[in-house]
Structure 1
Amino acid sequence: MRFLLDTNAVIAMHKHQGFRTKLQQHHVADIAISVITQYELYYGAFNGSSQHLSANLLRIESIPFTTLTFTPEDAKRAAIVRAATKNQPIGSYDILIAAQALERDLILVTHNTREFMRVPKLRLEDWL
């Protein structure tokens, strides 16, 4: 595994051909999503239009990548990240996702580089 997709990257997977092209350059086993990302996607599906709910749920459930669970080690790393970024604006869920990438030495793929670049030692790529 080499890459962890942020929520906006998973959404881009369905909307942007350029992103899909970049994604196809990598093996499925090299890519993962966080259970936190999965939560954000489910929330978006249930909070959105009811007429698109089934299609959105199907998209989420058909994501072919490994889903990383949140471990005690991730929790500890998230606390370290939170302490290191306490005076900088970064969302709580983003801290959790960043911690998982750091803990597993993964590159975080995101279009939200402005926020994530505040996390020390986090490796980022923007495929959009």
Structure 2
Amino acid sequence: MAASYLLDSNTIIAGIKAEPRALLNRLAGLASSRLFISSLVLAELQLGAEKSSQPAKVHRVVQVFIEGMEVLPFDAGDAMAYAKIRAALERKGQVIGPLDTLIAAQARARDLVMVTDNVREFRRVPGLVVENWLR
């Protein structure tokens, strides 16, 4: 079975900026049914739009870029995965950012490959498959 992917905000922002070209080629080669974003990532993107000098324009650009991708709400299964991951990272003294932990939990709970430029943080999460399409 082909892998499905959860895109982090930095990957989506790079895609919107059309850099690097390899990222756009990779995205174009995948069916949108295999590309997902977390509602938490959407919140990050919307915050970025609100803080920009042209919020309405940036919101439209984001919506166009993610069109066809399913936005995954954070659910009870994701919450349980978060609790287990956070506890494991705390025991090892390798805690990552709270939002990154929530997003990683969602990817792991749903067997999605985490696509991010923030590989160093996400690779600390046990059992999470991480790919960087920007390098």
TM surpasses 0.5: yes
- Select which of 111, 116, 121 maps to 1:110: 116
Give me the whole-angstrom Cα distance separating, in 2, the residues matched to 1:118 and 1:39: 23
Aligned length: 126
- Select which of 34, 47, 64 maps to 2:38: 34
Give me the whole-angstrom Cα distance separating, in 2, the residues matched to 1:29 and 1:117: 25
State the Cα distance separating 1:95 from its structure 2 match. 0.6
Tell me, yes or no, if structure 1 residue 88 matches structure 2 residue 94. yes
Give yes or no for contact 2:16–2:62 (8 Å, CA) kept in 1: no
Q: Specify the alignment match of 2:4 in structure 1.
A: 2
Aligned residue runs from structure 1 range 61-80, under 5 A: 61-62=63-64, 63-64=66-67, 65-80=69-84
Give me the whole-angstrom Cα distance separating, in 1, the residues matched to 2:88 and 2:118: 19
Tell me, yes or no, if structure 1 residue 60 matches structure 2 residue 62. yes
- With the length of structure 2 as denominator, give the TM-score of the two structures: 0.89
Tell me, yes or no, if structure 1 residue 120 matches structure 2 residue 122. no
Which deviates further from its counterpart, 83-92 or 118-127?
83-92
Q: Determine helix, strand or coil for the equivalent of 1:85.
A: helix
**Runs of 4 or more off by more than 4 Å in structure 1?**
none
Give yes or no for contact 2:94–2:124 (8 Å, CA) kept in 1: yes
Gaps of at least 5 residues in structure 1 are: none
CA RMSD of aligned residues (A): 1.1
Structure 1 residues 28-70: Cα deviation after superposition (integer angstroms, max 9, x where no partner): 1000000000000011111222xx2122110222212100000
Amino acid at match of 2:63: E
Tell me, yes or no, if structure 1 residue 19 matches structure 2 residue 9. no
Give me the whole-angstrom Cα distance separating, in 2, the residues matched to 1:58 and 1:70: 23
Give yes or no for contact 2:6–2:35 (8 Å, CA) kept in 1: yes
Amino acid at match of 2:55: L
Give me the whole-angstrom Cα distance separating, in 1, the residues matched to 2:95 and 2:105: 16
State the Cα distance separating 1:18 from its structure 2 match. 2.1
Q: Determine helix, strand or coil for the equivalent of 1:90.
A: coil
Identical counterparts, % of pairs:
40
- With the length of structure 1 as denominator, give the TM-score of the two structures: 0.93
